[in-house]
Amino acid sequence: MAAVERLATGLLFATLVLIGGPACSSTPAPPAAPKLQPRETFDWTGEKISFSIPPAGWRREGETSGGIKGARFVKERSVGEAIGLGDYYVLADRNRSGPIRDILAKFDTFDDGFAWDRALRTAYAYTDTPFSSLESEIAERVNTEVGQASAAYRTHDRDGAKAHLEAALAEASRLHFSLDEVIGRVEFTLEGRQNPEWYHMLGRRETTIAGEPAVVVDYTVKVPERPQTYSAREAYFVHNSHLFICTFIGLKETLPVFDAVVASIEFPK
Amino acid sequence: MNAGRARWVAFTTMVAIAAASACGRGAGTPAERRVAPSREFDFGAHRIQVTAPTNWETLDQGNQKRFRNGEFEIVLEALRPWTSLRPEPSTAPARDLDELFNRGLATLGHDDRREVKERRTVTIDGREAVDIETWSRLDHTNPQRILLVNADGDLLALHTVRMANEESLKAFDSIRHSLHFVSARR
């Protein structure tokens, strides 16, 4: 009988070790990685970007504010959490290569009607608030060539008009922007906010996203109408002279979803 | 009640029932007429047989045939003739299909806010066609379907309108598969 009792005690001890061991361990298991949905490729302003979509339960919407064209994913049945990814079209529009290339592709279809004038208006480069001295220089040359193309077309010199447009395209194609040149226009700062007292800056770090140099800014937001203090993170990076902006606002525990989405970003060839 | 009065009551009752029936169905403009779910439609030189899915009503509005289910709508219509775009109907199909695609989308109001998600070259009852799926460029929502058929030089389009859901996209496929060119009067 004593042997049976010893065996039962031993089994009980072994069971307790097996069940209780992991629970008493000093290092908790790492949280499971967010399960994202399959990646999709977006083309908001002429540069394709691909990333995995937030998990089920995040509603998607179009984003067109703040100079950004992109997508916003809003967590449903939550306290107001959102992830945004977008292309800063204010910068993308500075490069007129696309419109000029379109005009050249359709050059033979234009007659003396309004279509030519309407198309040519899209070829002129912006000259206000340039992002760099290179942009100013190129914009001036592009506009000179486009103006000469217009003048040549008015005198029925189609070959001359086409040659000037090709010269304008060559100039426009030289334009490029780096993150350092453009980030100042969009980066989060307390001074840039209407109510800076609602925000608390946590940090700024440089990193790499999809192989491109990037800047990540962390801060918190506490608005009077809401009981929670929200975590916020913004990431900025440039690819092919397109400035992409990723934003998160929500609960701290949801940040891994944002980080997983950002980590999945790729640029399709 | 004498026989004359009985006939009068019966007549007015029939008129009232007919009027109520027409109003209840939202008869719309005189040009619209309600038709059976499955029938043949005339599009100029073409006569096309179409079967509407169950629970989808069909309206013949001349150049446009509308299939409706609640707020969802699918339209089969003849776009403007595009014969001038293809001087030799039997040659250069690839170039013609590109033109078909571009002109058709432009005519249907496709613009930069929407993006072509998928484009497939298909054959509809022996005619070359392009089957297109579009969605919102920004967030990839609001899917729409467009089928452009080169009907012997005329451009026919079958497309969803405004908004679509899983059921209306299935209905689109059902109508698309039922398209049959009965005759072409040229």
Q: Which of A172, A252, A262 is nearest to A219 (CA)?
A: A252
* Pairwise CB contact (< 8 Å): A63 & B138: yes
Check if the beta carbon of residue A84 is closer than 8 Å to that of residue A70. yes
> In A, which residues are within 8 Å of B140 by CB distance?
40, 42, 60, 71
Which of B139, B140, B141, B142 to mutate to probe the A interface, most A CBs <10 Å? B139
Domain boundaries, chain B: 1-32, 36-184
| Residue B141: predicted pLDDT | 94
* Pairwise CB contact (< 8 Å): B140 & A44: no
Q: A217 has which bridge partners?
A: A204, A234
End-to-end CA distance of chain B: 61
Convert the pLDDT of each residue in B128-176 to its tens digit: 999 999 999 999 999 999 999 988 888 899 999 988 889 999 999 999 9
* Pairwise CB contact (< 8 Å): B140 & A42: yes
| Residue A102: predicted pLDDT | 94
B139 vs A: CB within 8 A: yes
Nearest C-alpha of chain B: how many angstroms from A234?
19
Q: How confident is the model at residue A67 (pLDDT cuts 50, 70, 90)?
A: very high
Q: Which amino acid is at B71?
A: E
Q: What is the number of other CB atoms lying within 10 angstroms of the CB of residue A262? A: 23
Closest CB to A60 among B115, B137, B141: B141
Convert the pLDDT of each residue in B30-51 to its tens digit: 445 454 457 888 887 888 999 9
Judging by DSSP bridges, how do beta strands B46-51 and A37-43 pair with one another? unpaired
| Residue A21: predicted pLDDT | 42
Question: Does the pLDDT value for residue B185 go beyond 90?
Answer: no
pTM of structure: 0.77
> In A, which residues are within 8 Å of B136 by CB distance?
62
Question: Does the pLDDT value for residue B27 go beyond 50?
Answer: no
* Smallest CA–CA distance from A72 into chain B, residue: B139
Convert the pLDDT of each residue in B66-123 to its tens digit: 999 999 999 999 986 654 444 444 444 445 678 778 888 988 988 889 999 999 999 9
Distance CA A139, CA A99 (A): 14
* Pairwise CB contact (< 8 Å): B139 & A40: no
Helices (H) and strands (E) in chain A, counts: 8, 9
Question: Does the pLDDT value for residue A194 go beyond 60?
Answer: yes
* Residue carrying the six token digits 């937030």: A54
- Mean per-residue pLDDT, B53-68: 91
Check if the beta carbon of residue B180 is closer than 8 Å to that of residue B158. no
Question: Does the pLDDT value for residue A268 go beyond 70?
Answer: yes
* Smallest CA–CA distance from B137 into chain A, residue: A44
* Smallest CA–CA distance from B115 into chain A, residue: A43
Task: Name the CATH topology of B36-184.
Answer: Protein Transport Mog1p; Chain A (3.40.1000)
- Mean per-residue pLDDT, A221-239: 95
